[in-house]
Amino acid sequence: MLKKLVLASSNPGKVREIRALLEPLAVEVIPQAALAIGEAEEPHDTFLENALAKARHASAASGLPALADDSGLCVASLGGEPGVHSAYYAGTAGDREARDARNNAKLLAALAGGAERSAHYTCVMVLVRRADDPEPLVAEGRWHGRIAAAPRGTGGFGYDPLFVVAAGDATAAELAPEEKNRVSHRARALARLTERLREEPR
């Protein structure tokens, strides 16, 4: 089992969630920013390709195994948008909080007029043992729900204030962190990934 890895993300929300999810495995998670590693390019049209690019970039720069995820919100009536473009759906200007607010406003505008609101979060998680790892571990998780009429809640990040969890009426931003970390797309992907890690020879 791995004891240390670099996390190929500078998103504080993702860092916080993944650290909490890996805590039971006693894996030391080092955010790439702590090693002065910049963000990788994400030019691809699939979650898998972007996650793999980020993991290989972080591993090459650090010399450590690297974990990356690419995730986003997919709305059926919008043809799967914002999808892989979720983080920059409404542009790249401003800090993460400002972008999140614009993204949520754009999504609500796109769904105005009675559009069907079913949606799911997708997370594809990739672990490479080294930058040129020919057999990366890959796992996917999905979290189904629908888009609310207005933002609710102060937790989470991204589209969480608009994402109403299928199992109830709360948005992801209204869930306690430990509850979100039990049921989210990222939790499901990481659970599958850790299962595969446990299967590997020691």
CA distance 76 to 112: 14
Q: Which domains does the chain have, with CATH numbers?
A: 4-199 (3.90.950.10)
Read off the pLDDT of residues 29-44 as tens digits, 9 standing for 90 and up. 999 999 999 888 878 9
Determine which one of 70, 100, 133, 169 is catalytic: 70
Read off the pLDDT of residues 43-91 as tens digits, 9 standing for 90 and up. 899 999 999 999 999 999 999 999 999 999 999 999 999 999 999 999 9
Please indicate, yes or no, whether the overall pTM of this predicted structure exceeds 0.85.
Answer: yes
The pLDDT of residue 202? 56
The pLDDT of residue 136? 96
84 phi and psi, to 5 degrees? -65, -15
CA distance 84 to 186: 15
The pLDDT of residue 1? 66
Report residue 118's pLDDT band, with 50, 70 and 90 as the boundaries: very high
The pLDDT of residue 15? 87
Can you spell out the DSSP letters for 82-103?
BGGGGGGTT-S-S-HHHHHHHH
Active site residue 70: yes
Residue 18 has pLDDT above 60, yes or no: yes
Token output for 10: 């500078």
The CB density around residue 172, as the number of other CB atoms within 10 Å, is 26
Residue 194 has pLDDT above 90, yes or no: no
Read off the pLDDT of residues 155-190 as tens digits, 9 standing for 90 and up. 989 999 999 999 889 999 999 998 998 899 999 999
